[in-house]
Chains A and B, each alone.
Chain A
Amino acid sequence: QKEVEQDPGPLSVPEGAIVSLNCTYSNSAFQYFMWYRQYSRKGPELLMYTYSSGNKEDGRFTAQVDKSSKYISLFIRDSQPSDSATYLCAMIGTNTGFQKLVFGTGTRLLVSP
């Protein structure tokens, strides 16, 4: 079993839809959680960085962490064609002294005009 599970998609939605992207993890040592966006032929770009359980909002993006369920989500409101990319969750924790970022496999999102 992988440490971090993420549905690879693709997830296709129409412009303006609310998108929900999710990851589950197995190791309770993970403490910090991140979401990255990766466009084709580009490096991952940090979108959200959270620590505690609960919600964190930044513009159209909301990151949600539920440590008790070992489940994290990224919501995108009013999705745009420019949001079409691969979204990677990543996490880091005490098991590696906060040295090693572990990624999900990424979910490919397609937003059609």
Chain B
Amino acid sequence: DTAVSQTPKYLVTQMGNDKSIKCEQNLGHDTMYWYKQDSKKFLKIMFSYNNKELIINETVPNRFSPKSPDKAHLNLHINSLELGDSAVYFCASSQQRGQPQHFGDGTRLSIL
């Protein structure tokens, strides 16, 4: 039973397209996150939501828009995809802020 699940696992698309990544957690956690892992494997936070409310927006271009329909789901929509958006995007959740975060297996986004 997967705790934090992301779909799709792989996403290959053309520059300029719009795409969405979905994330669901069944841990009953209040806080969810999106991270970007670049080609050098460095993980950097993008967004944090607590009970559907945006807490952190880490200077991410406004082409990226997170949406949390309920506290178990946090989706990421990306408009006008650029080559530099190619990366692995990870969703995570924690019981509360400051608590250990549990990660999904990532969505590998490749822009052609």
Contacts and interface: CB of A to CB of B under 8 A. Distances in A.
Closest 8 CB pairs of A and B: A98-B98, A43-B103, A103-B43, A43-B105, A98-B97, A49-B100, A44-B103, A46-B100
A105 B97 contact: no
A103 B42 contact: yes
A23 interface: no
Interface in B80-100: 90, 92, 97-98, 100
A42 B37 CA distance: 12
A99 to B, nearest CB: 5
Contacts of A18: none
Listed residue (A43, A92, A105) with the most chain B CB atoms within 10 angstroms of its CB: A43
Nearest to B98: A98
Given A34-B100, A44-B90, 12 more contacts: A31-B98, A43-B4, A43-B92, A43-B105, A44-B43, A44-B103, A45-B103, A49-B100, A96-B56, A98-B98, A100-B56, A105-B40
